[in-house]
Amino acid sequence: MLSQRMQELEEVSKELLKVLLSDWADNLLRRSLDKRARMEDQLLATQATATQLLRELTTAEETVAQTLLDQESQLQRSLRRLQDLEEELLRAREAGASLEASKNALRAELEELREQSRRLEEAGEREEEAVPSAAYVTQLYYKISRIDWDYEAEPVQIRGIHYGPDIAQPIDIDGSRHSPCFVSDYLWSLVPTAW
């Protein structure tokens, strides 16, 4: 049995050797090698394309990642700005409420002052009715004393002209050098006692 198999194997080998040595096998082998060479070229081209696509994909991923980081940073800045604006708005509202309260207090105070002014005007009107006018009092003083005062003099200077019975006499007294009692006595001495 073993020899029979050996013999069959030997026959198959011979047949294979014939096929290999024949022209047909050579053409088949050459076509297979050409096909293999084309496949290898296509594989290399595919690998080059895949490498280029991988590089482009990596570049695109980096660009997208950088854009995403920039957008995230911009979002964080915008959120901080929004938070600052909300805090500023809150402070402005508080200040507005404070100003409104101050405005209301000032309005109440203004109303109170208007009421006081009205009362003072009414009291002034009553006093005007009871007290003679300043012009009347001034004319009365002039008729009694016959002194025409210099109202432009310094506050400590007492100046004027006394129109006495005989001649006009100037008055120039330094109030800082004389006592108020002396000044009063002097001026009263100028007033005539005979009516």
Mean pLDDT of 66-84: 92
DSSP 57-118: HHHHHHHHHHHHHHHHHHHHHHHHHHHHHHHHHHHHHHHHHHHHHHHHHHHHHHHHHHHHHH
Domain boundaries, the chain: 2-68, 133-190
The CA distance from 22 to 13, in Å, is: 14
CA 79 to chain centre: 17
Q: How confident is the model at residue 12 (pLDDT cuts 50, 70, 90)?
A: confident
Indicate the pTM of the whole model.
0.35
Return the sign of the alpha-carbon dihedral for residues 128, 130, 131, 136: positive
Mean pLDDT of 164-171: 82
Q: pLDDT > 90: what percent of the chain?
A: 21
Please check whether residue 147 is in contact with residue 162, taking contact to mean a CB–CB distance below 8 angstroms: yes
Kindly report the CA angle at 90 between 88 and 95, in degrees rounded to 5? 90
Higher pLDDT pick, 101 / 16: 101
pLDDT at 77: 93
What count of other Cβ atoms lies within 10 Å of the Cβ of residue 171?
19
Higher pLDDT pick, 34 / 24: 34
Give the pLDDT confidence of 127-155 residue by residue, as tens digits: 666 556 667 777 777 777 788 888 888 88
Collapsed DSSP state (helix, strand, coil) of residue 170: strand
pLDDT at 85: 92
pLDDT tops 80 at residue 102: yes
User: Which residue has tokens 């050098």?
Assistant: 177
Q: How confident is the model at residue 167 (pLDDT cuts 50, 70, 90)?
A: confident
